[in-house]
Amino acid sequence: MLPAELQNEPEDWKTIMEDFKRCILPGLTHWQSPHFHAFYPSQTSYSSIVGETLAAGLGVVGFSWICSPVCTELEVIMMNWLGQLLNLPKAFLNCGEGNGGGIIQGSASESILVAVLAAREQAVRRLRVQHPDLTEAEIRGRLVAYTSDQSNSAVEKAGILGAIKMRLLPADETSILRGSTFIQAVEEDVANGLFPVICVATLGTTGTCAYDNLAEIGPYCNEHNIWLHIDAAYAGAALCLPEYTHIMHGAERADSLNFNLHKWMFVNFDCCAMWFKDAGSVTKSFSVDRIYLQHQFQGHSKAPDYRHWQIQLGRRFRSLKVWITLRTMGAEKIRELIRFHIQLANRFEQYVRTDERFEVLCSTLALVCFRLKGDDARSKQLLENITKRKKIFMIPATYQGKFIIRFMICGIDPQMHDIEYAWDEVRSQADLLLDVDRNRNEVTQAIESDAPEEPKVYEKSCEIGKITESLTGIVLSNDEKGQ
């Protein structure tokens, strides 16, 4: 649809926008549609769009305080606002008594990788003192990290990029990583001469939004110098609700944590909040100081040089869109909207439970995991049929060895009638699928019962074939009927 090479002369905006509608829009998966129920949300808001536009117009590249003082200082304030909104332990906040602090990263993937790299460097320095007989290369070759087999793919990828063996530990039957499983794995590795470095626990696993048991994992990590990072990319937003603060039990044991504002805090992608209990642990790991990067306020707690807290040097003015979004919405409005999304998911779950053909395997926050009863093939076919129709979009996962369909509340402004629309689509496609299955069984039974008289078998199969055609809209050719 597009030319193979760039044209020599400029084109007018009207032509470009016409091509945008003709070539670009038809190829989109519309993440902001209320009929998008896949993955986790990547939501936005009008306030966030305004903030993004202002930041793009200013063109700030805020890798240090001197680049644009307000870029750094506003981010410090926003990370304190967010930490207080989520009821985080004060040890993580810049306004607390310790050495904690926060930064806005691009995504959870970046945050997890930063945690893995920081933990690795801290461990190597410590182990070189404890094991002077080993070379640094030998120490690095023995490092090992841990996470659940239900964690996001970004965790495993962080192990690859960080050159650390990442062990995917089996979660229990409810998709939770338990302390006993983690401790057993660590002790096995220590017995084999390996050095445990970090455990990445998940609050809100990708498949079913399960919460790893921090209260069991955390104390052991603290006791044995194992960095504990919490990936709360989606579920972290729910911590602003008093009724969900219990899922954070044990978080005070963590060294770092992250959550995505672009998932459920109405700030557009990309925007991930990350906190450290000891900001010095990350700056010591990544600090590279050149003369052209220095300024008179280096090292001041209120003016951190965020280039030491991240992978890249340059960084965007993301705190501007956070500030505008939080101010225009306010804490209560955010809580109200998150609770409303949970209510929408509860309504969909009620619909599923009233249909005896379906079963709900689990339901957490604004996610419902369900399936057709029976073997996996039915649910797989149902999801495939729904996806082909492009009315709503859902994705699969597995739970307790079963194929499940995830229904997620997403979009910029989902409403109750969108849930009814989605359920009508699921139910009607299930009607068609199960009617076809039933008709096939009737054909099979008829053929088997009439098997001794071959002419009658053919007549019977043709008769039921006509019924099949009327039900499914499939018209067979004469040759296929003959066959």
Catalytic positions, please?
Answer: 152
Where do the DSSP E strands lie in 25-99?
none
Q: In the 3-class helix/strand/coil scheme, how is the chain assigned residue by residue? A: CCCCCCCCCCCCHHHHHHHHHHHHHHHCCCCCCCCECCCCCCCCCHHHHHHHHHHHHHCCCCCCHHHCHHHHHHHHHHHHHHHHHCCCCHHHCCCCCCCCEEEEECCHHHHHHHHHHHHHHHHHHHHHHHCCCCCHHHHHHCEEEEEECCCCHHHHHHHHHCCCEEEEECCCCCCCCCHHHHHHHHHHHHHCCCEEEEEEEEECCCCCCCECCHHHHHHHHHHCCCEEEEECCCHHHHHHCHHHHHHHCCHHHCCEEEEEHHHHCCCCCCCEEEEECCHHHHHHHHCCCCHHHCCCCCCCCCCCCHHHHCCCCCCCCHHHHHHHHHHHHHHHHHHHHHHHHHHHHHHHHHHHHCCCCEEEEEEECCEEEEEECCCHHHHHHHHHHHHHHCCCECEEEEECCEEEEEEECCCCCCCHHHHHHHHHHHHHHHHHHHHHHHHHHHHHHHHHHCCCCHHHHHHHHHHHHHHHHHHHCCCCCHHHHHC
270 upstream amide cis, omega within 30 of 0: yes
3-state secondary structure of 326: helix
Gyration radius of the chain's alpha carbons? 27
Beta bridge partners of 406: 369, 395
Name the one residue in this structure whose structure tokens are 């052209």: 292
The total of other beta-carbon atoms located within 10 Å of residue 387's CB is: 15
Hey, what amino acid is at 141? G
